[in-house]
């Protein structure tokens, strides 16, 4: 057992105290518990704007917006006030039993205003995973109501991320997740991802986009169109490594879904609320989904909230045919979460953050990343709005990857930790998604830190004889 005094007051705890108590009791998500216990967690104690501070007082530039969610940055008083006022007024009431609360109604109304025109209705839940579980239930309910219950298969993609519940992890295409717990659940199948670097070499990106979308058509023909309910995808794969698809991909996916009458679902958990320079990623990529999953940026992560925007094609059937949809959560439409979301969306509107990403900071990040592409370690640099990826390669010209066992991405991430910038490593893809409030000067600061980490990683790989 640890030598930590039993529950000392938090103000008196040192970093080592926190780490010992953490290792003794707290099982973190997606974590090798033993390895973390040996190393000790980093304890984040406060934040402001785009910066975090840890329990040793180190300042860190948060280039991942927490976990792709703190779109308006930390410390926004309007969100804090909205939560406080709602907690005092009505901390909870549910939306079951023919009841609801003003914040839930107002948020539904505001979401219908900012979402693309086909969306007039929303179903609330608490996370992206629950949103995607809701998608599965809703898609199948739709086809049931239309008298086609056999139309139940949902097509997704390898290396997609759609959450960690049973349905979310099944929709996702992460082999490590499928290997634990007997996933995917029945009725969910996967096609290959539109990752040009892995699957499209020798083709132009645009030609590859059409080929990759064609894999959906091939899968539909293999299964029989009368069995396929929906296709789901993230406009830009986030957790898979910020994989920006060719411009031809989504319009072709749309054409195929339309041709076979298949529902199109856009998982906007990361790409929603301004991340790509439009309110939703489907607008950036030019397609018109029937359902959109959202979470994260809807409250900028200040409090959990997720949901599904329901397009008129589906709403007409769900509502019009009557009968109870047997699905929902205690906290669907939680008034405090909805009040925070309202304040968050109004702030995004007031500060014109979406336009800022589209016209100013997004293009500026693209310029900076084009310069980083010249770095000897960088084989590919991609951005979309305020998402970015740098692929670290052994052969800049040949496209040769480093051996996976060399864990070059993790080495780079280690330097990021030490230098005070948070970048995430997905294999050897180094990814960012900074808060949408980031300024040009702060982008300069972030890119300088990233460059320093690349230089240090380069020195390491040379020292190890990997280059
Ligand atoms: N969908 C996407 C595209 C995501 O990126 C995530 C989380 N990173 C989820 C769903 C799951 O969201 P949550 O962790 O809130 O359940």
Mean pLDDT for the stretch of residues 402-421: 97
Task: Give the position, in ligand 1's atom list, of the atom nearest the Cα of 306.
Answer: 15
Q: List, as own/partner pairs, every contact residues 367-371 make where C-beta atoms lie below 8 angstroms and the sequence separation is at least 24, other chains included.
A: 368/443, 368/444, 368/447, 369/447, 371/447
- List the residue whose alpha carbon is closest to atom 7 of ligand 1: 163
Instruction: Report yes or no on whether pTM surpasses 0.95.
Output: yes
Tell me how far apart the alpha carbons of residues 450 and 39 are, in angstroms, rounded to a whole number. Answer: 24
- Helix H, strand E, coil C: the string for 60-89 is EECCCHHHHCCCCCECCHHHHHHHHHHHHH
Q: 252 in ligand 1 pocket by Cβ < 6 Å?
A: no
Q: 128 in ligand 1 pocket by Cβ < 6 Å?
A: yes
Q: 133 in ligand 1 pocket by Cβ < 6 Å?
A: no
pLDDT greater than 70 at residue 224: yes
Alpha helices by DSSP H, listed for 328-439, are: 335-350, 353-356, 362-372, 408-419
Q: 428 in ligand 1 pocket by Cβ < 6 Å?
A: no
Q: Where are the domains of the chain?
A: 42-72+352-463, 77-350
Mean pLDDT for the stretch of residues 435-460: 98
**Ligand 1 center to 392 CA (angstroms):** 25
pLDDT greater than 90 at residue 242: yes
Chain-centroid distance of CA 129 in Å reads: 11
Ligand 1: residue of 134, 162, 167, 265 to mutate (most ligand atoms within 8 A of CB) is: 162
Percent of the chain past pLDDT 70, that is, above it, reads 99
Three-state secondary-structure class, residue 156:
strand
pLDDT band at 181 (very low <50, low <70, confident <90, very high): confident
pLDDT greater than 70 at residue 353: yes
Residue 457 is encoded by which pair of tokens? 């990683």
Q: 161 in ligand 1 pocket by Cβ < 6 Å?
A: yes
Q: 157 in ligand 1 pocket by Cβ < 6 Å?
A: no
pLDDT greater than 60 at residue 143: yes
10 Å CB burial of residue 250 (0-12, 13-18, 19+) is buried
Write down the pLDDT at residue 6.
67
pLDDT greater than 50 at residue 419: yes
**Ligand 1 center to 162 CA (angstroms):** 5
Tell me how far apart the alpha carbons of residues 256 and 100 are, in angstroms, rounded to a whole number. Answer: 39
Specify the DSSP element, H or E, that contains 178.
Answer: helix 175-178
Give the C-alpha distances (Å, rounded to integers) separating 347 from 77, 148, 276, 385.
10, 43, 17, 19
Ligand 1: residue of 69, 71, 270 to mutate (most ligand atoms within 8 A of CB) is: 270
Pick the CATH number of 42-72+352-463 from 3.40.1410.10, 3.90.1150.10, 3.40.50.300, 3.30.465.10: 3.90.1150.10
Mean pLDDT for the stretch of residues 352-370: 98
Q: Name the architecture of domain 77-350.
A: 3-Layer(aba) Sandwich (3.40)
291: how many CB neighbours lie within 10 A of its CB?
27
Tell me how far apart the alpha carbons of residues 264 and 421 are, in angstroms, rounded to a whole number. Answer: 37
pLDDT band at 1 (very low <50, low <70, confident <90, very high): very low
Q: 62 in ligand 1 pocket by Cβ < 6 Å?
A: no
Write down the pLDDT at residue 368.
98
Write down the pLDDT at residue 8.
76
Three-state secondary-structure class, residue 49:
strand
Q: Which of 207, 175, 170 is nearest to 189 (CA)?
A: 170
**Ligand 1 center to 435 CA (angstroms):** 17
**DSSP state at residue 401:** P
Task: Give the position, in ligand 1's atom list, of the atom nearest the Cα of 129.
Answer: 16
Task: Give the position, in ligand 1's atom list, of the atom nearest the Cα of 132.
Answer: 10
341: how many CB neighbours lie within 10 A of its CB?
30
**Ligand 1 center to 127 CA (angstroms):** 7
Task: Give the position, in ligand 1's atom list, of the atom nearest the Cα of 238.
Answer: 5
């Amino acid at each position: 057992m640890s030598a930590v005094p039993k529950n000392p007051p938090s103000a008196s705890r040192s970093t080592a105290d926190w780490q010992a108590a953490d290792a003794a009791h707290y099982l973190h998500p997606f974590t090798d518990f033993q390895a973390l216990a040996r190393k000790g967690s980093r304890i984040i104690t406060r934040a402001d704007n785009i910066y975090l501070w840890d329990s040793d007082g180190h300042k860190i530039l948060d280039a991942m917006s927490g976990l792709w969610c703190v779109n308006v940055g930390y410390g926004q008083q309007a969100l804090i006030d909205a939560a406080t006022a709602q907690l005092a007024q009505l901390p909870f009431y549910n939306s079951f039993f023919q009841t609801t609360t003003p914040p839930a109604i107002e948020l539904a109304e505001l979401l219908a205003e900012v979402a693309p025109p086909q969306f007039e209705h929303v179903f609330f839940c608490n996370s992206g995973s629950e949103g995607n579980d809701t998608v599965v239930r809703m898609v199948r309910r739709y086809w049931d109501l239309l008298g086609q219950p056999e139309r139940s298969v949902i097509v997704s993609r390898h290396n997609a991320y759609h959450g960690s519940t049973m349905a979310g992890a099944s929709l996702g295409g992460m082999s490590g997740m499928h290997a634990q717990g007997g996933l995917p659940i029945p009725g969910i199948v996967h096609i290959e991802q539109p990752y040009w670097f892995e699957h499209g070499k020798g083709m132009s990106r645009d030609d590859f986009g059409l080929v990759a979308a064609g894999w959906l058509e091939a899968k539909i023909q293999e299964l029989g169109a009368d069995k396929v309910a929906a296709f789901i995808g993230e406009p830009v794969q986030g957790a898979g490594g910020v994989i920006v698809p060719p411009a031809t991909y989504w319009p072709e996916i749309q054409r195929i879904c339309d041709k076979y009458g298949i529902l199109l679902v856009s998982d906007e958990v990361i790409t929603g609320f301004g991340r790509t320079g439009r309110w939703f990623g489907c607008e950036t990529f030019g397609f018109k989904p029937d359902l959109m999953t959202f979470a994260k940026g809807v409250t900028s992560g200040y409090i959990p909230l997720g949901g599904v925007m329901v397009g008129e094609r589906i709403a007409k059937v769900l509502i019009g045919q009557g009968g109870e949809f047997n699905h929902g959560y205690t906290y669907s439409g939680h008034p405090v979460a909805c009040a925070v979301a309202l304040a968050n969306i109004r702030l995004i509107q007031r500060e014109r953050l979406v336009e800022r990403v589209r016209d100013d900071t997004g293009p500026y990040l693209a310029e900076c990343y084009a310069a980083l592409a010249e770095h000897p370690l960088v084989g590919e640099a991609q951005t979309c709005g305020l998402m970015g990826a740098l692929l670290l390669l052994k052969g800049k010209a040949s496209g040769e990857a480093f051996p996976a066992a060399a864990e070059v991405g993790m080495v780079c991430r280690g330097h990021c930790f030490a230098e005070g910038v948070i970048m995430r490593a997905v294999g050897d893809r180094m990814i960012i998604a900074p808060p949408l409030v980031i300024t040009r000067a702060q982008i300069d600061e972030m890119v300088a830190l990233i460059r320093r980490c690349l230089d240090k990683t380069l020195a390491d790989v040379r020292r190890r004889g990997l280059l």
